[in-house]
Amino acid sequence: MPIVYTCFSTDVIHEGHLNIIREAQKYGDVYVGVLSDSATVKYNKFPTVSFEKRLELVRGIEGVKKVVIQNDVMYDRIVESLHPDYIIHGDNWAQGTLKALRDNAEKLLSAYGGKVIDVPYTYSEAVRRIDNKIKEKLSMPEYRRKRLRQLIGIRRIVKAMEVHSGLTGLIVEKTFVERQGELDQFDAMWLSSLCDSTAKGKPDIELVDMTSRFKTIDDIMDVTTKPIIFDGDTGGLTEHFVYMVHTLERMGVSAVIIEDKIGLKKNSLFGTEVQQTQDDKEHFCEKIRAGKSVQLTDDFMIIARIESLILEKGMDDALERAEAYVEAGADGIMIHSRKKDPGEVLEFCDTFHAAHADVPIVVVPSSYNTITEEELAEHGVSVVIYANQLTRSAFPAMENAAKSILIHHRSKEIESEMMPIKDIITLIDEL
Ligand code: SPV
Ligand code: MG
């Protein structure tokens, strides 16, 4: 019998999947691949049920001859091992980013006379409701909060992008690319103090109060599902920090990063050009311990950010502090630098990772921007944060439009650089 292969990356089996199986049965024995967790997270999805449960779901479908594990988004390895006569999929993969998958399947099959079968995608109210329900589930605090820890376990390196509004949240939620046969998306959102402050026209000096920053979180959470890493600045007074932890955890934020500075905080990228004071090591440890003591779940993370390199206190100081902060209970270490050369950050990561391979390291390569994610991962980095790039790209674009209108006394000249009106009015999906 010919082999008809399809791959599912779903948490719920609905009529669309059953329709594919029915169609597939007309051509031969139906083999179904279940996409692994690590492949699923590249595919603009996140599993809400365990891999074992997903295998079980597929095993329970009538008409399925064999269930296999698919470890990559692309079909190369599965085609090599199964040599299917057909690969069958909903025809929604004929356009957009998913077309890369179809092209990949077609190319592999055509090498030995196999064929792709496109089944009309099932656009029904019931399917739409199921898809929405999965999305809604992922936006709930109990799912969102633990997702960062889950991703650190699944991803070689977790990629977080700056957000400061519902709109930037949507960009990070939905941006999905295909390049050289690989699909990719951001994993998490960084609620930058610099960008949250800048969006309000305020300096990054802990001036925007927590009520306002929590409102930004709420705006973002309302329209996204990805996990949030909150930039908690210095965490404020220890007596206040415990309340911050309590609220963030309740809201479903995954992690707070607090930096070991005290007094009037200025942005780290000023370095020693402005007066900034590093906190006493023991005092900062107390803040970490206090935060950990009020935490209610095992999901939430308190990550300690070390400013020794920013403040030119040296590598030994940075490493000593990292030891102390981990000892105090920090769930991860962020090391920051404003050098153009990544050397000092990599030296820190190599030394720290050798002693604490299980403690996630977070970096923010704003200044040393030539380094790639793969190089960072090779030095033991678990999370890379792109801390301000959406704000920095939007500002010149907006300023340019404002200038053009002032110069030309009309908007025609800037029209070609802007999003079409029909796109902006349909940008936001209706519920
Ligand atoms: C932020 O994005 O607010 C940060 C990172 O804290 S940095 O601006 O580099 O200090
Ligand atoms: Mg900040």
pLDDT digit string, tens, across residues 344-364: 999 999 999 999 999 999 999
- pLDDT, tens digit, for every residue of 162-195? 999 999 999 999 998 988 778 889 999 999 999 9
Identify the pLDDT of residue 254: 98
pLDDT at 44 over 90: no
Identify the pLDDT of residue 179: 84
Identify the pLDDT of residue 183: 85
Least confident piece of the model among 199-208, 210-219, 355-364, 422-431 = 422-431
Q: What angle do CA 353, 256, 258 make, to 5 degrees?
A: 75
Identify the pLDDT of residue 427: 81
Distance 97 CA to ligand 1 centre (A): 32
Average pLDDT over residues 219-241: 97
Identify the pLDDT of residue 180: 79
pLDDT at 274 over 80: yes
pLDDT at 368 over 80: yes
Which ligand has an atom closest to residue 232 CA? Answer: 2
Percent of the chain exceeding pLDDT 70 equals 100
Identify the pLDDT of residue 43: 76
Identify the pLDDT of residue 166: 97
* 83 phi and psi angles, rounded to 5 deg: 50, 55
Distance 233 CA to ligand 2 centre (A): 5
Average pLDDT over residues 388-410: 98
Distance 170 CA to ligand 2 centre (A): 21
Give the integer Cα–Cα distance in Å for 285 and 333. Answer: 13
Average pLDDT, the chain: 95
Please give the span between the terminal C-alpha atoms of the chain, in angstroms, as a whole number. 45
Identify the pLDDT of residue 409: 98
> For atom 7 of ligand 1, which residue has the closest CA?
268
> For atom 10 of ligand 1, which residue has the closest CA?
268
Q: Which atom of ligand 1 is nearest to the CA of 259?
A: 6
pLDDT at 381 over 80: yes
Kind and range of the H or E run holding 76: helix 76-82
Give the integer Cα–Cα distance in Å for 184 and 226. Answer: 14
Identify the pLDDT of residue 24: 97
* Cα dihedral value 295, 296, 298, 304, nearest 10: -10
Average pLDDT over residues 258-273: 92
What count of other Cβ atoms lies within 10 Å of the Cβ of residue 75? 23
217 within 8 A of 228, measured Cβ to Cβ: yes
Distance 230 CA to ligand 1 centre (A): 11
pLDDT at 429 over 90: no
Distance 406 CA to ligand 2 centre (A): 34
- Ligand 1 mutation pick, 198, 200, 204, max ligand atoms within 8 A of CB: 204
pLDDT at 8 over 80: yes
Ligand 1 is surrounded, with C-beta below 6 A, by 192-194, 204, 231, 267-269, 364, 366, 387-388
Tokens 């699909």, located at residue: 183
- Ligand 1 mutation pick, 260, 265, 364, max ligand atoms within 8 A of CB: 364
Q: Extract the runs of DSSP E, i.e. beta strands, from 208-343.
A: 228-231, 255-259, 261-262, 277-278, 301-306, 332-335
Identify the pLDDT of residue 348: 98
Q: Which atom of ligand 1 is nearest to the CA of 387?
A: 2
Which ligand has an atom closest to residue 367 CA? Answer: 1
Tokens of 8: 């599912």
Identify the pLDDT of residue 405: 98
What amino acid positions are annotated as catalytic residues? Answer: 204
Q: Which atom of ligand 1 is nearest to the CA of 196?
A: 3
Identify the pLDDT of residue 394: 97
- pLDDT, tens digit, for every residue of 76-129? 999 999 999 999 999 999 998 889 999 999 999 999 999 999 999 988 899 889
Identify the pLDDT of residue 143: 95
pLDDT at 34 over 90: yes
Which 3 state secondary structure label does DSSP give 70? strand
